[in-house]
Amino acid sequence: MSVIDQDSPRVAGRPSTPGSGAASGASGAGRAQPAGLSATRDEVLESARRAKTAAAAVAVLPRSVKDAALIAMADALLERRTEILAANAIDVQAAQAAGTRDSLVDRLRLGDSRVEAMAQGLRDLAGLPDPVGTVVRGSVLPNGLQLSQVRVPMGVVAIIYEARPNVTVDAAGIALKAGNAALLRGSASAHESNRVLVDILAEAGVAASLPVDAVQLVPGTDRESVKHLMTARGLVDVIIPRGGAGLIQAVVNGSTVPVIETGVGNCHVYVDASADQAMALAILVNSKARRPSVCNAAETLLVHEAIAADFVPAAVAALREAGVTVHADPTVAGLVGDANDVVPATAEDFDTEYLSLDIAAAVVPDVAAAIAHINEHGTGHTEAIVTSSIEAARDFVARVDAAAVMVNASTAFTDGGEFGFGAEIGISTQKLHARGPMGLAELTSTKYVVTGTGQVRASS
């Protein structure tokens, strides 16, 4: 399985190299390259050049044009859903024939409800405020100069992502709403779906006055086209990888284009000595079992030793009832009445993003030990503490190194929609430019606008 197609459970931070197989190239209103062809560096760079030209035009479009284009794209998805579902059926059949796991086939599969959801997502985007031109801060300097920092589009945003074809629509829509051109590099498993979706989006966008090439699939279906894209510095302004640890690390380590690193999530729930245990059980089960395949799902439970004798058996029982397998350290295992209720944890378990109904569990002596464990094994995504102690909560929030810290709340809330941002391109776990859920504002940069009345700077 190539890195681009890697949707299986994985260990956080495991490096890899760009894999073969992604969506074929398309440009503007549906210029497509047949599947199975490689693309030369010149072909990939030419696609990026066209995107750069389109980005300059998209950047100055008024909100009314961008919103009308998003609505037109939504309408086109519904009008051409038969075409979309037929293309998707080819991808699904190929995946099943290749012995792909059912859970991964489900990510790939589109139906009427998912097409409708993609269309609604574009309509929702159209209803959000336009971030472009927003004044971040401003002041009048002592010399009378008016200083404003305003949001501007990034330019050409490339997204490299795995099997889910809905990402094609989401990523294109968010990039366009923020005034950018979108270069999309999906996986081979969704090739037919992505090809048709981009054709539809591009044609509808052009008909609604978007520039040609504002939405494109990157040419080529082999790993070389990924490498060419990652080294298109000067043409591509930023790359956002969405997927597993292998994909993310390959892009981060191999790209000369700036990268926003999105979220591998080895998330923890720490239950402190003063925790309301009923609350803690509800938060734990929701964090782990609500949707175990997403990056904000909890992967490790840590319990303060002062309440472990009471809480651990109840937690294991609640998790087992939810279908979760507990990978227990020796202390946790010793507190469970039936040894068959847990499996022994290995050292690797505490570094693993399971993305499945599995969780590692350990007992720690205090909040300091919990924080140390999290900072050693976590991935900087989301960490939660359940406590009644204001002091413990403050200490946890201050010292845990993560994009989001939950106090007495589920890790599942780390989400652009739940935070009130609307659309989300991903969850950043890095510290530069964007951190946490990335909405429209995070797909912009800023520029300073200085307005004077003839001021000149004195000679030094």
CB 125 within 8 A of CB 24: no
25 located within any domain: yes
Rounded Cα distance between 31 and 206, Å, is 13
Q: Are residues 296 and 383 in the same domain?
A: yes
Shared-domain flag, residues 234 and 285: no
Assess whether 152 and 200 both reside in one domain: yes
Does residue 29 sit in the same domain as residue 147? Answer: yes
Residue 289 maps to a domain: yes
What tokens were used for 325? 């397998």
The CA-atom distances, in angstroms, between 360 and each of 54, 223, 276, 357 are 48, 35, 21, 11
133 within domain boundaries: yes
Q: Is 243 left (phi over 0), alpha (psi -120 to 50) or beta?
A: left
pLDDT the model gives residue 34: 43
Instruction: Please state the length of the chain.
Output: 460
d(CA 3, CA 162): 8
> Tell me, what DSSP letter sits at residue 40?
-
- Does a structural domain hold residue 12? yes
pLDDT score at 36: 53
Question: From CA 179, how far away is CA 214, in angstroms rounded?
Answer: 10
Q: Please tell me whether residues 212 and 150 are part of one structural domain.
A: yes
Containing 334, the helix (H) or strand (E) segment is helix 330-335
Distance of alpha carbon 239 from alpha carbon 65, whole angstroms: 25
- Same domain, yes or no: 322 and 282: yes
CB atoms within 10 A of CB 450: 10
Predicted pLDDT at 32:
40
Supply the pTM of this predicted model.
Answer: 0.84
How far apart are alpha carbons 282 and 261 in whole angstroms?
31
Residue at which a domain ends, from 398, 413, 428? 413
108 lies in some domain: yes
Integer Cα distance of 166 and 169 in angstroms? 5
In the prediction, which pLDDT does 3 show?
A: 47
- Residue 319 near residue 340 (C-beta atoms within 8 A): no
CA 121, 123, 129 angle in degrees (round to 5)? Answer: 100
In a domain, 421, yes or no: no
Instruction: Strand 444-451: give its sheet, edge to edge.
Output: 135-140, 146-153, 444-451
Query: What's the order of all strands across the beta sheet hosting 238-242?
Result: 31-32, 26-27, 215-217, 181-185, 156-161, 238-242
| Residue 242: both structure tokens together | 């969405």
Note the pLDDT of residue 420: 84
Residues of the chain falling short of pLDDT 70: 1-37
136 and 180 belong to one structural domain? yes
Place of tokens 């059926």: 89
Sign of the torsion angle spanned by Cα atoms 201, 202, 204, 209: positive
Number of domains in the chain: 2
Helices 112-126 and 63-79 sit at what angle, rounded to 10 degrees?
Answer: 170
What's the confidence (pLDDT) of residue 423? 74
**For the segment 344-368, what is each residue's pLDDT rounded down to a tens digit?**
999 999 999 998 999 999 999 999 9
- Would you tell me how many other CB atoms lie within 10 Å of the CB of residue 108? 24
The tokens describing 280, both together, are 């803690």
Specify if 50 maps to a domain.
yes
| pLDDT at residue 222, rounded to an integer | 79
Pairing of strands 10-11, 352-353: antiparallel
Domain, as residue range, for 314: 267-413
Q: DSSP string of 67-135?
A: HHHHHHHHHHHHHTHHHHHHHHHHHHHHHHHTT--HHHHHHH---HHHHHHHHHHHHHHHTSPP-TT-E
One domain, residues 340 and 397: yes
Helix (H, G, I), strand (E, B) or coil at 173: helix
Q: In this predicted structure, what is the pLDDT of residue 4?
A: 54
188 and 292 co-located in one domain: no
Among 185, 180, 181, 134, CA closest to 159: 185
Q: 360 pairs with which residues across the strands?
A: 300, 327
Q: Which whole-number Å values give the CA distances from 126 to 59, 71, 415, 421, in the listed order? A: 16, 7, 19, 13
Q: Is 425 helix (H, G, I), strand (E, B) or coil?
A: coil
Considering the domain architecture, whether residues 383 and 337 belong to the same structural domain is answered as yes
Strand partners for 159: 184, 240
- The pLDDT of residue 421 is 84
Q: What is the CATH number of the domain that holds 344?
A: 3.40.309.10
Q: Which of 254, 277, 299 is the last residue of a domain?
A: 254
The answer to the question of residue 339 being in a domain is yes
Q: Of the candidates 112, 79, 25, 75, which has an alpha carbon nearest to the alpha carbon of residue 205?
A: 75
pLDDT of residue 13: 36
Q: Look up the CATH number of the domain holding residue 20.
A: 3.40.605.10
User: Are 300 and 189 in the same domain?
Assistant: no
Q: Which residues pair with 140 in a beta bridge?
A: 146
Co-location of 107 and 144 in the same domain: yes
